[in-house]
Amino acid sequence: MRMLITTDMEGCAGILNFPDWVYPDGKYYETGKMLLTQEVNAAICGFMENGFDEVIVLDAHGHGGVDITQLDKRALYQRGFPGPYPLGLRSDYDAMAWVGQHAKASTPFAHLAHTSSKFVVDQRINNISVGEFGMGVFMGASLGLKPIFGSGDLAFCREASALCPNIHTVSVKEGLNPGTGEECTPDEYRDRNIAAIHVTPCVARQKIYEGACAAAKDFIKNPEKFVVEALQGPITVEIDYRTNYPGVHTTKHYEHPDSVIEALNMSWADR
């Protein structure tokens, strides 16, 4: 069986803010990559020890977040994809998972929450509010992929469970800021959600390993419980954007007859 792990950095334990940890010129960027890669390795072990024959790690952080020199040698590494969407998803994977994932923009008590960039206030697909995780779920559903595991901050775990009730989740930190931040300008929002309580990296890795083991066993026992129904057309995508004026937003609307992937590509081309 084949597993696709999609990775991001902001949901990883020990990643504290944007400028120092997730940008290439940040003073702790290489340390951040190490922390994420260790979390990914924990998930790889859990999946490969419990029925998956092949694991592909899709490095989906904007600047890259996985150190391939430290990656578990049993895994394959992917960076870059045709598109932009469907972001490397393919129909020949059996299941998909997320490591280091953050909550969608405007989520209360989330850490480093955003949707694709600091400019997005909210994004909706067929009137369902989604972040990067939700986009992946619905694109994956259109390709027959089953979401079985996700790790990140507690707000992300709640978001994932609300959209995919049977998914296994592991929380490695908890954001402390209430409110949505919808009143913020882009730069204000980037710096807003940095307060959080983290578990230590060794605890995060153990929790992720155990969670991946449980998800893999559950998937093998009953794969159909993880099926997410594909959205029915017409597919609409609406995105609310921040402006440089506090609390002032603009909204863009896109529609495709039947493809969530093509609707998202329309939105990306217009950014």
Q: What average pLDDT score do residues 154-164 get?
A: 98
Give the up-direction half-sphere exposure of residue 130: CA atoms within 13 A in the CB hemisphere. 20
pLDDT band with cut points at 50, 70 and 90 for residue 224? very high
Task: Tell me the residue length of the chain.
Answer: 271
CA distance 252 to 122: 11
Q: And the tokens for 24?
A: 């290439």
Task: Give the β-pairing of 146-153 and 95-101.
Answer: parallel
Domain boundaries, the chain: 2-228
Task: Give the β-pairing of 54-59 and 2-7.
Answer: parallel
Kindly report the average pLDDT of the chain as a whole number.
96
pLDDT score of 82? 81
| Cβ contact 183:249 at 8 Å | no
Q: And the tokens for 260?
A: 């969530």
Q: How would CATH label the architecture of 2-228?
A: 3-Layer(aba) Sandwich (3.40)
CA distance 217 to 46: 10
Q: Sort 79 into a burial class: Cβ within 10 Å, 0-12 / 13-18 / 19+.
A: middle
pLDDT score of 123? 98
CA distance 222 to 159: 23
pLDDT in tens, 52-107: 999 999 999 999 999 999 999 999 999 988 878 998 899 999 999 999 999 999 99
